[in-house]
Amino acid sequence: MSSAASTGTAGPLRARCDDRDRLVEADEAIAALQRRCGGVIPGVIAVPALLGLVRKARRQHMRLSRSLTVDDDGQPISLWARVEPFGDGTIVEIGQWQASPGVPEGLAPLSDEALLGQIAGLTARLDEDQAIVFAQARDERLHTLANEMNAGRGRRWTTFVRLEGGMDRDGLHWRLLDGAGVLLRGGKAEWQVRFSPLKAGGLDMFLLPLAIDSLPGNDAKLNEGAEGGYNALLARELGPALVQPINRIIANAETIRTRLAGPLADAYGSYAGDIAEAGRHLLGLVEDLADLEAIESADFSTAPDHIDLADCARRAAGILSVRAAERAIVLAVPPEEPQVPAVGEDRRVLQVLLNLISNAIRYSPEETTVTIRCGITDGRAWVAVEDEGEGLTPDQADRVFEKFERLGRSGDGGSGLGLYISRRLARAMDGDLMVERAESGGARFVLTLPARD
């Protein structure tokens, strides 16, 4: 399990749940939240909003994500949660964790903690001894500091910075440090430290700029000329705002389509089905944009592990089996033996394979076969997805992995990002993703990864 200590601000916090929605493994920040909410590990998720999202993702075998506001020992926090089916359970990713004013009645004033969270360049959770639990930076000048703090969790926060005026860093109560100037390596005092005590013990620490020209990160988000500017605006700002209403539209449309709310004419049931499908396409686009922003980050990395590539292929095919059956398409999967041992991040490999198999189902004629084969050649493990469609011309094969490339298709709900993201993920795992012509005349996409002895 990757931890915030290794990924810093580059990646989200992670946890794993079993088939009974019990939290069985978690990064420390999530584990601490579980305990503060009265839960244990292993144990059922103690955060109701997160538990509901995990249950829904597991039962529907769908990747779901949304913005949540949860109560952390009486203090509301907002976070972005993504849940993805994994085996019989789920994988949970949490990012954008910050103090939140919640949903006030009328025009209630913003709390001090929420205001500090909005203008802080870095926020950190500390234990009773002022040791780092986790840190997250919003200002690019503090990314390195946040990474160092996450890598040194358990050490007092003052070991990572210098205090203005040569103040003794050891043993001082936090109230004596509140408001002190903070110096980074080789710099002058451009930051001030502020604290907010937690009811259950520990502190939230905020590093505030001494001069505030704009909120942290806003310039980068509004400057479309900056690298990834529009990605950050769409994925970080619009994404969390869109996911909840889109999910609500899908849920209501499915309620109408399945007639759970009462009898309905067939024509209206069909309309509701179209609305639900359009909502899923839009939700997929939002999730693609979030993935795009992550993989194009300069410090993006994966968490390699030992996997069985054939098992990943069978799981991906199982998730998409209903969609294939709707078009009378047979999914021919690798046998249980032999295994195809490889090195890669399991959930990322599954994400790539889901995209490849989904595309094969979408663009294959009905009543055909999509064949998935695996093997090891010259020290490289590979999995190939072959369809019986029209295939790709040499020119199309050269362009198919480009960003937003649709090859002239329209109206199919695709974003033109799936294959671009999949190849970037493959190469981040020291592998590759290629396309060639299958013996059937269709397309044959091949994912390669380092083989494991």
Tokens encoding 338: 């032999």
User: Which is higher by pLDDT, 307 or 395?
Assistant: 307
Same domain, 436 and 346: yes
Span 248-258, mean pLDDT? Answer: 75
Instruction: Round the CA-based radius of gyration of the chain to a whole number and report it.
Output: 24
Classify residue 106: in a domain, yes or no.
no
Q: Give the whole-angstrom CA distance, residue 430 versus residue 238.
A: 32
Mean pLDDT computed over every residue of the chain = 77
310-358 pLDDT per residue, tens: 999 998 888 888 888 888 999 999 998 889 999 998 888 988 998 899 8
pLDDT bin (cut points 50, 70, 90) of residue 281 is low
412 and 433 in a single domain? The answer is: yes
Single out the residue in 161, 195, 216 at which a domain terminates: 216
In a shared domain, residues 211 and 314? no
pLDDT of residue 99: 63
Q: Does the model's pTM come out above 0.85? A: no
pLDDT at 101 over 70: no
At 451, is the secondary structure helix, strand, or coil? strand
The whole-number pLDDT of residue 130 equals 87
105 in a domain, yes or no? no
Is residue 406 predicted with pLDDT exceeding 80? no
Q: Is residue 329 part of a domain?
A: yes
Q: What is the mean pLDDT of residues 97-111?
A: 47
Residue 44 lies in a domain: yes
The CATH number given to whatever domain includes residue 403 is 3.30.565.10
Q: Average of pLDDT values for 80-98?
A: 84
CATH of the domain at 207: 3.30.450
Answer yes or no: is pLDDT of 421 > 60. Answer: yes
Mean pLDDT of 121-149: 84
Residue 177 within a domain: yes
Q: Are residues 309 and 445 in the same domain?
A: yes
Q: Are residues 193 and 78 in the same domain?
A: no
Residue 126 and residue 189 in one domain: yes
346: left (phi over 0), alpha (psi -120 to 50) or beta: alpha
Non-local CB neighbours of 49 within 8 Å, separated by 6+ positions: 68, 69, 70
Residues near 186 by beta carbon (within 8 Å), at least 6 away in sequence: none
> Is residue 237 assigned to a domain?
yes
Choose the final residue of a domain: 268, 295, 322. 295
Look at residue 30 and tell me whether its pLDDT is greater than 80: yes
Q: Are residues 55 and 120 in the same domain?
A: no
- Specify the pLDDT at position 113: 54
What kind and span of H or E run contains 240? helix 239-257
Query: Which of 71, 99, 127 lies at the terminal end of a domain, its last residue?
Result: 99
Question: Total domain count for the chain?
Answer: 4
Residue 242 belongs to what domain range?
Answer: 222-295
435 falls in which pLDDT band (50, 70, 90)? Answer: very high
Question: Has residue 241 been placed in a domain?
Answer: yes
Q: Is 314 in the same domain as 427? A: yes
Q: 3-state DSSP call for residue 114?
A: helix
What are the pLDDT digits (tens) for 208-245?
Answer: 877 544 444 444 333 333 344 445 555 555 566 666 67
Question: What would the 3-class secondary structure string for 42-82 be?
Answer: CEECCCHHHHHHHHHHHHHCCCEEEEEEEEECCEEEEEEEE
pLDDT of amino acid 219: 41
3-state helix, strand, coil in the chain (%, to 5): 40, 25, 35
